[in-house]
Amino acid sequence: MTLPATDGIMEKLQALLSYDASSPLIFSSGLFLFLFAGFMLIYNAFRRAPMARIVYVILFSLYFYYKSSGILFLLAVGSRKYVTITYGEGVTAFTDYRIEQQEDEIVPELSDEEWADAAYTYIDMCDDALDYYADYGEPIDVDNDIGLEDLLIAMIFPLGISAFICLILYHQMKTARQKMEADEYMPSFTLRVKRDRYTHTTRERTYDPPQKESHSSGGSSVDSDGFGGSSGGSF
């Protein structure tokens, strides 16, 4: 038989350790200090079992990621594989499009085993994505991400076409030549009569199948447990 007081404590403890979207776990919170102290006690207990330490650190990292919400990049150096996982607010702030951008950016650095450079690049891109989400209230996605190259093309291409058309019109306007007699300004022309005889009609029919509606690749993919991210890859 369980005492009522014990039931209340267990419910509060479960609520405290579960994910709360309105109060994610942060480094400056008292709960984090409490969890970290417990983590260090158990971590020191595994000092003679390196593999157990590694598994324990991975499990605690996954729990911290679940409790705080955000984005987690897992890298297996031995098998040279990687995967990105998002949860909570991270699912909203990091779309599939943005995750693919970040992974594509660091894959060359991972291939060259430049681990620190890859980490700095990934963190900087995460920071940019979070700043954009905080400033505009929406994540970076396929329909609102305009890079510098796209912006230059959007500006230079129309200007180039306009300059080309103006140049043609300018040369067409410089066709006047001074004449000695007034009638020389009148162009010579000849009238001809031409008749077209209608004989037959040729009709062609082309089948135009209905177009299927295309679906945008924007947004974030989420599984039944609320986790998002990528399918991963190798380098």
- Checking if the pLDDT of 191 tops 90, the result is no
- Residue 185, pLDDT > 70, answer no
For residues 70 and 87, what is the distance between their CA atoms, to the nearest angstrom? Answer: 6
Token representation of residue 72 = 């987690």
Other CB atoms within 10 A of residue 114 CB: 14
- Per DSSP (E only), the strands in the chain are 70-76, 81-87, 227-229, 233-234
Residue 216 has a pLDDT of 44
- pLDDT-wise least confident of 97-106, 152-161, 193-202: 152-161
Residue 40 has pLDDT above 80, yes or no: yes
- The predicted pLDDT at position 184 comes to 61
Choose from 26-35, 43-52, 139-148 the range with maximum mean pLDDT.
Answer: 43-52
User: What residue spans define the domains of the chain?
Assistant: 4-145+220-234
pTM reported for the whole predicted model? 0.53
Mean pLDDT of the chain: 76
Model pLDDT, residue 115: 92
Question: Each residue of 29-55: b (16+ CB within 10 Å) or e?
Answer: eeebeebeeebeeeeeeeeeeeeebee
Given the DSSP bridges, would you call strands 227-229 and 233-234 parallel, antiparallel or unpaired?
unpaired
Residues contacting residue 19 through CB under 8 Å, at least 6 positions apart: 66, 67, 69, 87, 88
For the ranges 74-88, 95-109, 133-147, 214-228, the one whose mean pLDDT is highest: 95-109
**Residue 170 predicted with pLDDT over 70:** no
pLDDT at position 188? 62
Rounded to whole angstroms, how far apart are CA atoms 147 and 84?
Answer: 23
Write the pLDDT tens digit of every residue in 203-228: 665 544 444 343 445 777 777 767 78
